[in-house]
Amino acid sequence: MTNARTSLAAAALLCIVVAPLAAQPSAERPPPRTPDGKVSLDGIWVATGAIMLFEGQEAFAAARAADEAAGRPPGNTGETPPYKPEAEARRQYYLERQGLDDPMARCLLTGVPRINFRPLPFEIVQLPDRVIMLYEIHHAFRIIPTDGRPHPEDAEPSYLGESVGRWEGDTLVVDVRHFNDDTWLTGVGTIHTEDLRVTERYTRDSYDTIRYEVTMEDPNVLTRPWTIRETFRLRPDERIREYECIESNEDLLRFERLLEGHATREAP
């Protein structure tokens, strides 16, 4: 009898606790928290631009409308990157060549932040001392320590750089350094040098969304720090699949042929 009463009470309590959560639209659900009290970034996410490919124009428009209503900035404002004249000339050169020189087309690892804007999902696994990002594109990953350790002393320049994170309230701030210069920042021709420093800010502002703000600093090519934004959307029914780039990459040969046929001017 006591057991039955306890079960009944537990069930009633469960209803009280769970029912409002279930009834609440997920957009109004608060972001979940980890046992240590931090907002959890756990989940499979995709940049808003990818919604166009995953679900079509209507869903994309709805996502953007939801962002606007929530005061989230659009992912791209059409702003021209603040390049110094020589670097801008180089960007224009790559644009004229229609992106034939894109390192990504050669299946090289896509750098930060560009990897976050690809139209393929990535999973965030948040642990007490580090955050792990698992990207479908290239099956790439980042391990971001958040235990207070500094950047490694022996870091060599790399495609994804070396990431070190820290929490500022509910925002994960990631400082990325030690890049090579074989990646583009966002779009065609957005070059950088090995002096690039990237600061990313991930804020899960609702159950379904992460506000992403990234600032790129490279005094060799940029006139000032360049900040862009994006909203990542939770994809609860998604799983990270395999995306292998080299297998049948005809573009290597095709681009070589096209480049030969392009009697373009010398790179500035």
Interface positions with another protein (CB under 8 A): 47-50, 52-54, 56, 60, 75-80, 95, 98-100, 102, 104-105, 107, 117-120, 136-137, 186-188, 228, 230, 241-251, 254-255, 258, 261
The token duo for 225 is: 């720090």
Q: What's the rounded Cα separation, in Å, for the pair 232 and 3?
A: 46
CB of 13 to another protein, least distance (A): 40
CB of 158 to another protein, least distance (A): 21
Task: Identify residue 50 by its one-letter amino acid code.
Answer: A
In this complex, which beta carbon is closest to another protein, that of residue 3 or of residue 80? Answer: 80
In this complex, which beta carbon is closest to another protein, that of residue 129 or of residue 242? Answer: 242
Q: Distance between alpha carbon 13 and the CA centroid of its chain, in Å?
A: 39
Pick the closest to residue 175 from 205, 206, 204, 142 (CA basis): 142
Torsional class of 38: left (φ above 0), alpha (ψ -120 to 50), beta (otherwise): beta
Torsional class of 159: left (φ above 0), alpha (ψ -120 to 50), beta (otherwise): alpha
CB of 250 to another protein, least distance (A): 8
- Please list the alpha-helical segments (H only) found in the chain: 2-23, 48-55, 57-69, 85-96, 114-117, 251-261
In this complex, which beta carbon is closest to another protein, that of residue 110 or of residue 180? Answer: 110
In this complex, which beta carbon is closest to another protein, that of residue 38 or of residue 229? Answer: 229
Q: Which residues contact 262 (CB under 8 A, 6 or more apart)?
A: 97, 100
CB of 207 to another protein, least distance (A): 22
CB of 263 to another protein, least distance (A): 13
Could you count the other beta carbons within 10 Å of the beta carbon of residue 258? 13
In this complex, which beta carbon is closest to another protein, that of residue 163 or of residue 186? Answer: 186
Q: Which residue do the tokens 């060599």 mark?
A: 156
Q: Which residue do the tokens 């934004």 mark?
A: 229
In this complex, which beta carbon is closest to another protein, that of residue 66 or of residue 107? Answer: 107
CB of 247 to another protein, least distance (A): 4
